[in-house]
Amino acid sequence: MAERQARAVPRPSLEHARHVDGFLAHLAVERGLARNSLEAYARDLARFVTHLERSGVHEPATLRPEHLRRFAEKLADEGLGPASRTRTLVAVRRFVRHLLALGVLERDPAEGLLSPRKTQRLPRVLQATETEALLASAAGEDGPLGLRDRAMLEVLYGAGLRVTELISLPLAGLDRRAGCLRVRGKGGRERIVPLGEPALTALETWLAEGRPQFARAAKRPSDAVFLSRRGTSMTRQNFFVRLRLLAQRVGMARERVSPHVLRHSFATDLLEGGADLRAVQAMLGHADLTTTQIYTHVSNKRLRETVDRHHPRGARRPGGRSRTP
């Protein structure tokens, strides 16, 4: 059965494979895309090329608009959500532009191809009291494990880092005198992020009292700020498990908490505190301001909930007018 299924999937032609490999190399070298982004492009283009092979299209030069339209319809038929379909079609469009630049195609077969409409989902965030409860949960554990977890949470929330940036942070990336971090983000772009006093204090305590104990267990020395109990650099999975455990201890639903939720909370709390949108963009490492602007919608939503809950004429107060039709 497995052999029949394997034979049912056509192997990509050398021409398709050659051009896809060249495009991915272009993204890696000239555009500086991160590994995760390259892997996503590779998966999306593999799906596209498989569709072309099954449709009898073995040469990129023979691509026509109807081939792309049928591919978009196939994605919808397979039940992919609007966001996944949009991402896949973006990869295909950029691949097609690459073929146009090489002269493989004379006309753009993606012209007029519509992206599926998608509703913009607001990021999940924590209330300030929930964030404090998580930090207190980490601080309540004795020994180097508690010191590490507290420091990781303080830095994650205090600097708005991505989890990959957090676990790969080197000792050389910490400027204690200036009180900031030098972070290497997506596409290898570096940025400077300031740290508040709680995060700096937690870091200093971990580096002085906790990290040396874990470092002694290592077979090879590591320059990572945050270590596992074996003295190796922390992994995404390890930190994710620790974060969920801390959430469980304070009675929070495990699915509500993730490293990215804390990053969202960092951005939203900054904006609610009056921070400039451009400053938040720089600290988050967003290449495009529109990516950061979504947090203004989150901030407005939370402000509205505050009015509803606490204002004498709020929708949830006696005498307040409900907006539920």
Active site residue 157: no
How would residue 316 be classed by pLDDT, with cut points 50, 70 and 90? low
Greatest Cα pair distance, the chain, in angstroms, is: 71
The reported pLDDT for the residue numbered 9 is 44
Contact 60, 19 (CB under 8 A): yes
CA distances from 186 to 40, 163, 238, 283 (A): 14, 12, 21, 13
Among 260, 301, 310, 313, which one carries the catalytic annotation?
260
Active site residue 216: no
Section 62-75 average pLDDT: 91
Residues 122, 79, 298: CA angle, nearest 5 degrees: 0
- Between 259-272 and 143-159, two packed helices, what is the crossing angle to 10 degrees? 50
Among 186, 236, 249, 302, which one carries the catalytic annotation?
186
Among 16, 98, 263, 264, which one carries the catalytic annotation?
263
Round the average pLDDT of the chain to a whole number and report it: 83
Is 3.40.190.10 the CATH number for 128-310?
A: no
> Does residue 216 surpass a pLDDT of 90?
yes
Active site residue 58: no
Closest CA to 195 of 225, 160, 169: 160
> Does residue 146 surpass a pLDDT of 70?
yes
SS3 110: coil
Active site residue 87: no
Active site residue 67: no
The reported pLDDT for the residue numbered 94 is 92
Section 163-191 average pLDDT: 89
Give the alpha-carbon dihedral of 114, 119, 121, 122, to 10 degrees: 110
The reported pLDDT for the residue numbered 5 is 39
Section 73-95 average pLDDT: 87
% of residues, the chain, pLDDT over 70? 84
Among 16, 87, 98, 162, which one carries the catalytic annotation?
162
The reported pLDDT for the residue numbered 311 is 52
> Does residue 64 surpass a pLDDT of 80?
yes
Q: Where do the domains of the chain lie?
A: 11-102, 128-310
Determine phi and psi for 263, rounding to 5 degrees: -65, -45
Q: What is the pTM of this model?
A: 0.61
Q: Which residue, chain included where needed, has tokens 């030069």?
A: 61
% of residues, the chain, pLDDT over 90? 37
Section 204-214 average pLDDT: 95
The reported pLDDT for the residue numbered 86 is 86
How would residue 302 be classed by pLDDT, with cut points 50, 70 and 90? low
> Does residue 320 surpass a pLDDT of 90?
no
Closest CA to 155 of 185, 186, 188, 198: 198
Section 21-31 average pLDDT: 88
Active site residue 162: yes
> Does residue 63 surpass a pLDDT of 60?
yes
Helices and strands per DSSP (H, E), number in the chain: 14, 3
Specify the CATH number of the domain 11-102.
1.10.150.130
